[in-house]
Every structure is written in structure tokens, then in C-alpha cells.
Amino acid sequence: MLMAYFEQVPSLQWLAQTPAFVKVIAFFLTWGVLWLPIAIPIAIAVKWQPRKPLPAGQKLAFLASLYPIAPMLVWGFAGTENLPLSHYGLIWHPDVLVSLGRGTGLGIVSLAVMFGLFLRLGWINWLPVSANTPLASVLLPTLLVGLWVGATEELIFRGFLFSELLHDCPVWVAAAISSLIFALLHLVWDLRDTLPQLPGLWLMGMVLVLARAVDGGSLGLAIGLHAGWIWGIASLDTAGAIAYTGTAPEWLTGVGGKPLAGAAGTLLLLATGALLWVLGFGFRL
């Protein structure tokens, strides 16, 4: 339906000849316009208060209406230029599942190493898991959410956005800009808690660009890595499995318990990027 809309509106064909920044702006404006009629009733129903942190349940309600639009929109924009989705990293091949599994495993292992060190140094305590929310009961739902969010965000930011910027920018500039947009758009959900995480989110975006490069242009490894990080963090948060002891400063462990807002999270991302570089045999962009 959306693809037919793009094909039937001649005025949209100008997008194929426009600079990358114009396409990017058009993409996000279109996405916002399509989502707004859905988002407003949801905001009213959940009594959303923009100045307060968005609870996880409310955020999922918004994401459930926002994210399904994005893949169709990417498909529509690809159609205006007669490009296959593989141009944006969606490569349908069995090897993608292998990359997906490796990325997910790497994401989980990296978090296990970081939190394992926290536990060893006495920076966190492992809490008795409540009978109401045992860790095992949250693993599957959070995995599914992680894969869904990871796949959608990678298609948008490391797929469509990065690929379009490459038409007009050097690769590192395209990587930096797409990662900056990725970080800044997280402010929509929670301004106060996200601000300290902006540098970490930007670096995360850069690492995920590297993951796509190492994977030969496919998004499989990046999706898996992104999903693994979401899965691990969301599972621990949902189950209430850890508590910070306060023996280490927040700038080290992460402001507000957010690893991306601390030096440890930054080191985790740098180590992951270095490992990807080594595994990619020094792949040069």
C-alpha cells in the first residue's frame, strides 16, 4: 500500500535526484506525519507527561505504533530510486542468521564481562529475584523486544540513513552524522535521563556502523549486537536483578544506573569496536 503510494505520486520522484540531506529530512518528516495521528490518541490514553520520564510500558505503546511504519517507509523510499533493500543492508541469506547469532552472543558476553567486573569489585549486588518476576520469565519477552527494536533501528540508522549519507559524504562523516541523529532522537523519549547518555549513544552508533562494515554491508551482525545489548539490560532491569552499592562514582558505572552514561559503558563500546576491527582483519572503510 505504501509502495503504491510512492509510485503513484509523481512529485515524489524528485527525491531520487536530491541531496542526501534532503532525503533524510523528507524521510523523518514523513515518518512523523504518518505517526502523529496514531501517537496523539495514545498520548491521551496513557496521560503522557513530556516533562517526566516515560515508563517502560508507555514507551512500548508508542514504539508499537511508531516502529512498524519505518520498514514500509524505507521500502517506499527505496522504490523511488529503484534500489533493492540489500542496498540498505537487508540481505536475505542464511549467513545473516549466523551473523545475527554472533552479534547477539557478543552483546551478551560484553555485558556479562562488564557486570561481572562490577560484581567482583563490589560496585553492584546481585539481588534475590522476586517470585513475581523471575529472570527466566523475562528472558524470552525481552529477547523478542530486543530483536524487534534492534532490527528496526538498524534498518533506519545503519541501513537507510547511513547508506543515503554515503552518497554525499565520506564514510566516516556519514557514520558520525548518522550516529549523532541516532543519539539525538533518543531524547524524544526521556530528555533528562538521555542527556548523560548522548556521548555513549553516539559511540554505540559508530560501533554498529563498524559491525555492518565488518559483516560485508549486511545488517545481520549489527542487529544481533544491538539486540544483545537491549536483551541483557532490559532483562536485568525488568527482573530487578542488580542494585548499585554506591561504592563507585556514577561517572564510572553510569549516571542513574545507565551504563552508556558512564566510563565503563564507554570502555565496553571501545573494546567491542576493537574486537570487531580485529575480527574483521583490520577492515578499512
Q: pLDDT by residue (tens digit) across 17-64? A: 788 888 899 999 999 999 999 999 988 888 877 777 777 778 888 899
pTM of the model: 0.90
Please give the Cα distance from 34 to 6 (Å, whole number): 14
Q: Give yes or no: residues 46 and 187 share one domain.
A: no
- Judgement on whether residues 203 and 145 belong to the same structural domain of the protein: yes
Q: Which residues are CB-contacts of 273 (< 8 A; sequence separation ≥ 6)?
A: 206, 207, 210
Cβ atoms of 260 and 139 closer than 8 Å: no
pLDDT of amino acid 16? 64
17 C-beta neighbours (distance < 10 Å), count: 10
Question: Of 59, 83, 107, which residue constitutes the final position of a domain?
Answer: 83
Per-residue pLDDT tens over the stretch 189-209: 877 888 999 999 999 999 999
Does residue 118 share a domain with residue 236? Answer: yes
Last residue of a domain, one of 50, 83, 116: 83
**Cα–Cα dist 232/278, whole Å:** 24
Characterize 27-54 residue by residue with b for buried, 16 or more Cβ atoms within 10 angstroms of its Cβ, and e for exposed: beebbeebbeeebeebeeeeebeeeeeb
Count of structural domains within the chain: 2
- Amino acid at position 255, single letter: V
Among 53, 83, 113, the domain-final residue is: 83
Q: Counting Cβ atoms within 10 Å, is residue 138 exposed (0-12), middle (13-18) or buried (19+)?
A: buried
What domain range includes position 43?
1-83
